[in-house]
Structure 1
Amino acid sequence: MDGPVEEPTVLVTGRPRPRPDVRGARDAAGVRLVFRALLFDGASVPAWHEDAACAGRSPSLFFPEADGQHPRPSRVRAAKEVCRRCPVRTTCLDDVMTHESPWYRHGVVGGLSPAERHRLHRARLGATS
């Protein structure tokens, strides 16, 4: 039983890649690592992140499921309030919609919940048909 362990994969733009294990991301560094892997596929984090309103805040505000918590509506509203005042919110949302897998959405990013980003993705697909 000591053979190689096969990692689960997620298909992103037709390419398989390892799926980050969010259950192990209990601290801020772990959540950032998962966030980078999900959104930027190992590439460097864009410079606009330094100007984001969420910079320096606890990632658990935006990704409560990484702490094993269910995203309560009050937590989602609090995260969205931070995003609402963010000077790079539009850029953040554009990045997440470009890089995030439509089948693997987590947290409040770009001011939208996973369900809202899913609806936006579907609306964009409908607009291009």
Structure 2
Amino acid sequence: MLGRLNHVAIAVPDLAAAAAVYEGTLGAQVSAPQPLPEHGVTVVFIDLGNTKVELLEPLGEGSPIAGFLEKNPSGGMHHLCYEVDDILAARDRLLAEGARVLGDGEPKAGAHGKPVLFLHPKDFFGTLVEIEEV
């Protein structure tokens, strides 16, 4: 069911400062910031060829990232995103196996414009998992 690792997401308190560290210290090419109001975040991506790193900061008061940063003020690894061929088939299989899909269970457009769903971290050893249709 799982395809390749699409990205590792890191929540940061200051997106511009984090992007500057990745550009300056690590020599990475960082994309332009992309606000995603439907997910409550602003993101940038660092393309590594075989995968990406996503840096995300809260967007607005109701951002789910705000709670994460309250517990982890310096930021930290937020989620892993895996590719799937058919997100609805993957969702149905996961539900049949007892996994919990967050939200209303319907895919939403992610940062790449493709359907995504998030899976409860308690079902995956404390790691929030995102699946994205390719």
TM-score by length of 1: 0.30
More helix per residue: 1 or 2?
Answer: 1
TM-score by length of 2: 0.30
Instruction: Tell me: higher relative CO, structure 1 or 2? Use CA pairs within 8 A at least 6 residues apart.
Output: 2
